[in-house]
Amino acid sequence: MQMCIIATFKCGFNEWKSIYDGDHDLRKQFMKDDVVGKVSENCAMIKFTVTDPEKMNQVMSKRIPEIAPSIGLEHEIYTLTQVE
C-alpha cells in the first residue's frame, strides 16, 4: 500500500529530519522506499510503501506519543492509489 504523510512540527526541519532518520530501524519493520520532501521549515511530506500495516500501527502507536509533544508533531495521512 502506498501512503503519503504530511508532517507538521514546531521545531525546524533539520531537527525533525534528525529524529526521522534516527528511527530508520523502526520504519524498516513495516515500510520501504520512503522519500522525504521539505515543504517548508515546519512541514515535510513523506511517501512510502507499507509492507506490514499491523506492525506499522503497533510501532507508531508507541513512538508518536514519545516524540510528538516535544516537537509539536502532527500528521495528515493519505493512502495513494494509482490512476488508471
Q: Domains in the chain, start-ordered, CATH in brackets?
A: 2-78 (3.30.70.100)
Scan for cell 499491523, then name that residue.
54
Residue 47 — pLDDT band, cuts 50, 70, 90? very high
Using alpha carbons, list the distances in angstroms from residue 75 to 19, 38, 64, 72, 82. 15, 14, 10, 10, 22
Reported as a single tens digit per residue, the pLDDT across 50-65 is 999 999 999 999 999 9
Q: What pLDDT sits at residue 84?
A: 83
Secondary structure of the chain: what % helix, strand, coil (to 5)? 40, 40, 25
Instruction: Report phi then psi at 12, rounded to 5.
Output: -80, 165
Residue 82 — pLDDT band, cuts 50, 70, 90? confident
Integer Cα distance of 52 and 69 in angstroms: 26
